[in-house]
Amino acid sequence: MKEQLQTLREKINSGQFPTHFPHFGGANLIITDNPNRSFHEGDVVIYTAHASAMSWLVMELKEIYGGHLNSLSKYRFYPEIGKLIQESLRTDYDVFESMEYVIEEIEKSWGAE
């Protein structure tokens, strides 16, 4: 897992992430660039011009941590990622810094082994 996280960091730092990627919506997390996107009460909703990149990041983290997720824990995992993205956007991080911040914090709370 640690190696996968390092590989993910390297992809991000070298700009190897898509600018066009399906926006994420599920498990109480919505990432979109559409301010009219519908959502349910309790969803963490992220409106950002970087919705594609952030959605890609969520899917990469799903790939890495998927073995640790179940039908209940995913409702903690994905909203946590969303809240971290929100925090990074509030601090005016660029897209690279935002993604690195999310990885760092998820690694702290969900582990790297």
pLDDT tens for the 113 residues of the chain, in order: 899 999 999 999 999 999 999 999 999 999 999 989 888 899 999 999 999 999 999 999 999 999 999 999 999 999 999 999 999 988 888 999 999 999 999 999 998 77
Cα separation, 19 vs 50, whole angstroms: 8
What pLDDT is attached to residue 97?
A: 95
What pLDDT is attached to residue 32?
A: 96
Q: Structure pTM?
A: 0.93
Give the closest residue to 89 by CA, choosing from 53, 39, 64. Answer: 53
